[in-house]
Structure 1
């Protein structure tokens, strides 16, 4: 390791030492905080040139859009899936989308990648590190850091069972007699997994499934291993880290074991190390929890750079199937603007289902029941969890977004395509960075065959395309998948050209009744304004332009349709699910 100057080393070591003291305040360690801090610095190979970025720096712009995909969402015979993904990006994404989130691409045993067997290698069925870095050389690469748990088939867990070797003390155990009634979990399985080991019978903590065994961060060696993993990912081109299920990382019997102070401090410490090693790297925390809890992961702009806007999917879908934007508007009004150095990660579809916990306290029980029943009628499945009181509660709705928006609470109708595109237009205009699932980009429908074969509800929205068949469909302009892709890329191009759509540009909610959902964006230099207004109903709605108080000396145009507004006293007729982006700079 190159020598750090004393001042650089002292400042960084002191900061890490303080963070470690918070994390391990109640844990007896065999190593001093300072020695552990310096060991982590060595692991990250930090040198005197590795300065942290200036505080409150935005490492993103209006040009950032992320496509979310599995490494094998596209399959071509006799070709590595990661190579096929690269071809898709080269041929279709081109300059439209600049970032790709490849969901866990490591060897795994279950949960489509989120039960990692080996963090240091690429799943041979997908490709190798060379294929990963090839993608990273052309797109900003986002990768999962599956930090809460690993596979029960990992070498670490094998050694835990043997009672010797690396990993023998990496896992969190508890007693069935401990006070565990308060523990918050997203699943219905038993929390503790009974395991026979060389040291006798032990009960391993499993937040998610018994194949996903929770790691014990009370052991600083676990932290050290993940710092090594982060360094490896940086070396291979990863620039955005999605910290999977991080809210559950620290556990204490007798508590809910979620969002504990030690968890927040671990995120801060990892950010300190990452931003010294790669100043433009970004941390995104995946915390699928009620909205107020989710917001705490911003810290004071010293934890996550971005947090997932988990409340957006259920609220937006609820709006479009009911034709009433009350709940969506209330939520948007309550959301604090992200300070510089932080922003939201917006999405409305992902490899997981549409989470309902983030809607708790935002939608009434009646609205949630109506939403669930509507998704069931559209072919969706429902996943359940055990609540703190022991009752079964709906955790998420499993359905492709295209099918989720095929109709309203009254049933399917002819407006499915318009409603689907409408949802994305709303998301593309909101404060934050948009993430678009590959199956939304392609308008993929529910995969009932995969659901039947796997018996896993989430499989319904994890289709694998035959790439050659997909290419044929995308070459046919009359094909609905080609139509979706064309419309989506066109809208993305419009968005990425507008400074008022910078993730940190000003945003205010407009009050236009319950049938029209609107918000106003203004660029950071205050030169561009965009009024984003959507008809969320299946009926034509009228919008008097005078209600927007547009500056009369400016020239106003709808960026989507190209319509000019010279008479500011006129009214606009908005077709069902039509959006206008009325801007004073349409060039």
Structure 2
């Protein structure tokens, strides 16, 4: 029997030598290795797994629903947290009754006590926010669906016990946070916010200037201190024990800081991701890591490493490019980007999404759309009731960073203005996304067709609140039972698409994908199953007028029967053209499965 533990130990030691090459001595690294192994729970060959390289831990049936623990609540009665039923129980009930056949995984956004940023400023990583429920509620969901949990690893709340100990300069946490001097060269630091980078904190040892990438309530950790690393391995072990199957590494790109550098995507950050991958897969080889890096496309792709970092990366360029395609009626930029994207190696894949709890990031569109086109897109979203969040560049210039808008409203019209095709355009966006190489992630408010929540923006003062509506359960069920309501029609249409997608081998996340050249009004791509038995031609009219596609341009094999899986119709191969209504999608397959 091979001694996997010896190999595991050597890998962990190598990662630590790269990360701490100028910080820890060789003897200190030797001491750190068993501490990390103990924290993750791998202490010998008997409990050390050796992962199969390049193994796909997913298939075409995998669909992730993204939601807050309290996106749906019961009986709030106007009292904050005055729910008659804990929201996690309500969420589970909703999923079981309405989504059981269409999702495999649930990404519950941070479900811990927090002080700001709707959960991403965590006070205590070890307990469930009591307003949502408890660990039993989390475990109940994890037994029925794959649980995706955030590891908010870059920063925590300024109200956490760790940071209070830092302020007092005593106890656990007193040395957990990154400090710099105002005299340091911080001009190159890349950030997604316009607030001051450093926060002055009075301590018994004098004022400290704490690094805050996002806000002054979100204080950044100092991973140069190996005790911070150990603390997070303990957190990951806890989440594994509670049923987590997917880890989302939040804001991971900013993890390692060096004054005088951009302090984003540094080599040490990548090595920390590789270390986390090694530790996790040797204790739980089926668990996957997804990196959340809202950065330009080329930088984002680096988080695959050599199939030894993230199993999956967020496809951040997809949302702005797809929205731009549908509001302009021109798929040239989306098509060009698709052609430039490398196929993911086996054992890695893309995480596709077009809406989330955050806004639509614009940095991932940089270099793909020019500044004028980005400005026009942002202006269009503002015309549809959306907001724009800004960032400050290293020369002090403000640039649009994020568009904050519910997807159903983002697609209520074109650059010409609102029109009658909102529903069709919205379903078209999802049909395009669901067929692409990768695992689809669908935000709960997209499943429900939830519009802009302008009241929440007004009450919270935060632009992102526009797409973080909280549904009353009874009101939602009433809408879903009303077959004439937009919400019922959206859930029905998306459920149909998802059920079709989940039974097509050609939609495996790693199945072959090839971009079709059908002009700028028709966006198309071809997928082929790994066993090469099924092909699907995915074609979408991205305009508000009927379009014709010459059948010979799709190159269907003549001795096969071809079917539109969505319309459940056989393709007449004697015809010269296919006619697509505004925003219609066809999934043309040689196998009539569904």
**What is the TM-score of this pair, normalised by structure 1?**
0.98
Q: Report the equivalent of 2:63.
A: 65
Give the deviation of 1:299 after TM superposition. Answer: 0.2
Query: Counterparts of 1:292-371 in structure 2 under 5 Å?
Result: 292-371=298-377
Matching residue of 1:475? 481
Q: Deviations over 1:389-441 (max 9, x none)?
A: 11111100000000000000000000000000100000000000000000000
Structure 1 window deviating more from structure 2 (41-50 vs 279-288): it is: 41-50
- 1:32 offset after TM fit, Å? 2.1
Does 1:236 pair with 2:236?
no
Q: 2 CA distance for matches of 1:539 and 1:244? A: 41
1:573 corresponds in structure 2 to 579
Deviations 1:513-536, CA, capped at 9 Å, x for gaps: 000000000000000000000000
CA contact under 8 A between 2:47 and 2:283: conserved in structure 1?
A: no
Deviations 1:342-390 (A, max 9, x none): 0000000000000000000000112111101100100001100111211
Is the contact made by 2:5 and 2:48 (CA closer than 8 Å) also made in structure 1?
no
1:34 matched to which residue of 2? 30
- Alignment-derived partner of residue 99 in structure 1: 105
Match of 1:217 in 2: 223
Secondary structure at 1:137 match in 2: helix
State whether structure 2 residue 511 is matched by structure 1 residue 505.
Answer: yes
Tell me the distance in 2 between the aligned counterparts of 1:29 and 1:483. Answer: 62
Contact 1:552 1:568 in 2 (8 A): no
In 2, distance between residues paired with 1:8 and 1:63? 32
1:51 corresponds, among 49, 52, 68, to 49
C-alpha distance after superposition, 1:211-260 (max 9, x if no partner): 00000000000000000000000000001000000000000010000000
Per the alignment, residue 13 of structure 1 pairs with: 9
Contact 1:546/1:569 (CA < 8 Å) preserved in 2?
no
1:484 aligns with 2:482: no
Counterparts of residues 319-468 of structure 1 (less than 5 Å): 319-468=325-474
Paired with 1:10 and 1:57, the residues of 2 have a C-alpha distance of 22
Once the 2 structures are TM-superposed, how far is the Cα of residue 566 of structure 1 from its aligned partner?
3.4
User: Could you say what the CA RMSD is over the residues aligned between the two structures, in angstroms?
Assistant: 1.0
Note the residue ranges of structure 2 that are not aligned, 5 or more in a row: 76-83
Please state how far the C-alpha of 1:568 moved relative to its aligned partner. 4.4
SS of residue paired to 2:282: helix
What residue in structure 1 maps to residue 85 of structure 2? 79
2:190 and 2:403 mapped to 1: Cα distance?
A: 19
Confirm or deny: 8 A CA contact 1:180 1:254 kept in the other structure. yes
Q: Distance in 2 between matches of 1:561 and 1:254?
A: 58
How many angstroms apart in 2 are the aligned matches of 1:528 and 1:373? 42
Q: CA deviation at 1:29?
A: 5.3
Distance, in Å, in 2 between the alignment partners of 1:230 and 1:395 is 31
Contact map agreement 1:14 1:34 (CA 8 A) in 2: no
TM-score, normalization by structure 2: 0.97
1:108 counterpart residue number: 114
Q: Give ranges in structure 1 of 5+ residues lacking alignment.
A: none
Q: Match for residue 81 of structure 2?
A: none
| CA-to-aligned-CA distance 1:101-148 (integer Å, 9 cap, x gap) | 000000000000000000000000000000000000000000100000
Q: Structure 2 residue aligned with 1:285, among 279, 284, 291? A: 291
* CA–CA distance in structure 2, aligned partners of residues 313 and 455 of structure 1: 24
Other structure's SS at 1:232 match: helix
State the alpha-carbon separation in 2 of the partners of residues 9 and 65 from structure 1. Answer: 34
Matches of 2:537 and 2:2, distance apart in 1: 52
* Separation (CA, whole Å) in 2 of partners of 1:450 and 1:497: 39
Judge conservation of contact 2:4–2:50 (CA < 8 Å) in 1.
no
Provide the C-alpha distance between the structure 2 equivalents of 1:151 and 1:52, rounded to a whole number of angstroms. 36
Is contact 1:519–1:531 with CA below 8 Å preserved after alignment? Answer: yes
Distance 2:41 2:370 in 1: 51
Aligned to 1:23: 19
SS state of the match for residue 277, structure 1?
Answer: coil
Q: Give the distance between the partners of 1:6 and 1:515, measured in 2 at CA.
A: 57
Question: In structure 2, how many angstroms separate the alpha carbons of the residues matched to 1:345 and 1:65?
Answer: 10
Q: Secondary structure at the match of 2:144?
A: coil
- Are the counterparts in 2 of residues 13 and 34 from structure 1 also a CA contact under 8 Å? no
